[in-house]
Amino acid sequence: MKTFKDFMEECVKEYYSSTKIGKDFFTAPELDRAFGMALSDHLYQLIHDMNAPALLELGGGNGSLAYDILSTFKSKYPDIYPHLTYYIYESSPSLLALQKERLKEFEGKVFWIKELVAIEGVIFSNEFFDCLPVHVVKDGKELYVDGSWGPISDERINLFLEHMNYKDKNHVIEICLDCLDFLKAISQHLLKGYHILIDYGYTSNDIHKYAEGTVVGYKSHRLVKDVLKETQPFDITAMVNFSAIVEYGKEFGLKTIRFENLRDFLLASDSFLEELERLSLSQAPEDIERLSRLKTMLVSMGDRFKVLVQEKASS
């Protein structure tokens, strides 16, 4: 029988094969371009002294984040823009087509890849890791698609529980082996540079808040709680276990150099602060609307989302 992980993997694939970001939920880049502008400032700090840096985005959505980053580099960082290459790793054919359309003006600058490529620069993602499927376990048993609890399907699950020292029997633990596989691949493909992961998640210190697990679905901006009963294609996600990313990162040669909430990360960017100031002084209806979207980013996403920056250890 299929495990919950198999079910989640199929749901994600089916959902992204025929959707556009914004229909069922908004991501920060879809909310406002100030997110991409802020991320660009941070990226610039990390790559400005590299000769031919590359940016590799995992899961490009509608292409908005790539558009905002490339536009910011072109206008604000002309010293590095001519030497920059941008890669997008995307599995959904329909989103890939949207991205190609959106990024037409950056032809020759952006490349789509089916496998990670080796780069000097930064591999980064926003709301990518939360799409990767999780094994759900409780008290030595794993959740299957019919809602029953059966044998653990992959020996690496037990190794993970031991490694992370998770012993509570009355607690659901979600194990994202695919996240660890991606993390390892990221480290292997970073010749030199950094990994930035932006997503909602928790650490081992606050895992007790999620005794029933964190998997939820989204459909038309509504929460789907009982995901095993939902029939229509819907977005399904699990919060990211940042402690696992930090711990396994160390094993794979990625040293965590920064971990903070999204609000602090955004407010540490000149571009974001300038946008905030300019919009708060303006009376134009469009600017007033944008200001409210920036506040949403800072207030409702600001604490829930975290930013983790890891540096590839030099070999």
Ligand X SMILES: C[S@@+](CC[C@H](N)C(=O)[O-])C[C@H]1O[C@@H](n2cnc3c(N)ncnc32)[C@H](O)[C@@H]1O
**Residue 236 DSSP code:** E
The distance of closest approach from Cβ of residue 90 to ligand X in the complex, given in angstroms and rounded to an integer, is: 5
Q: List the one residue out of 30, 37, 29, 27 whose CA is nearest residue 269.
A: 37
**Per CB under 6 A, 126 contacts ligand X:** yes
Q: Dmax of the chain from CA atoms?
A: 61
Q: For residues 125 and 27, is the Cβ–Cβ distance under 8 A?
A: no
**Per CB under 6 A, 60 contacts ligand X:** yes
**Per CB under 6 A, 98 contacts ligand X:** no
> Where in 90-246 does DSSP place strands (E)?
110-113, 119-126, 135-138, 141-143, 149-150, 173-175, 190-202, 216-219, 222-224, 235-237, 240-241
**Per CB under 6 A, 3 contacts ligand X:** no
Q: Which is nearer to ligand X, 91 or 203 (CB)?
A: 91
**Per CB under 6 A, 242 contacts ligand X:** no
Q: Which is nearer to ligand X, 30 or 174 (CB)?
A: 30
The distance of closest approach from Cβ of residue 237 to ligand X in the complex, given in angstroms and rounded to an integer, is: 8
**Per CB under 6 A, 21 contacts ligand X:** yes
Q: Which is nearer to ligand X, 131 or 266 (CB)?
A: 131
Q: For residues 303 and 201, is the Cβ–Cβ distance under 8 A?
A: no
Q: Which is nearer to ligand X, 111 or 149 (CB)?
A: 111
149-150 and 85-89: which strand pairing? unpaired
The distance of closest approach from Cβ of residue 281 to ligand X in the complex, given in angstroms and rounded to an integer, is: 29
Name the one range near ligand X by CB under 6 A: 86-94, 101-109, 247-255, 276-284: 86-94
Neighbours of 126 (CB within 10 A): 26
Neighbours of 277 (CB within 10 A): 10
**Per CB under 6 A, 248 contacts ligand X:** no
The distance of closest approach from Cβ of residue 180 to ligand X in the complex, given in angstroms and rounded to an integer, is: 14
List residues near ligand X by CB under 6 A.
Answer: 12, 16, 21, 27, 29-30, 59-61, 65, 89-92, 95, 126-128, 131
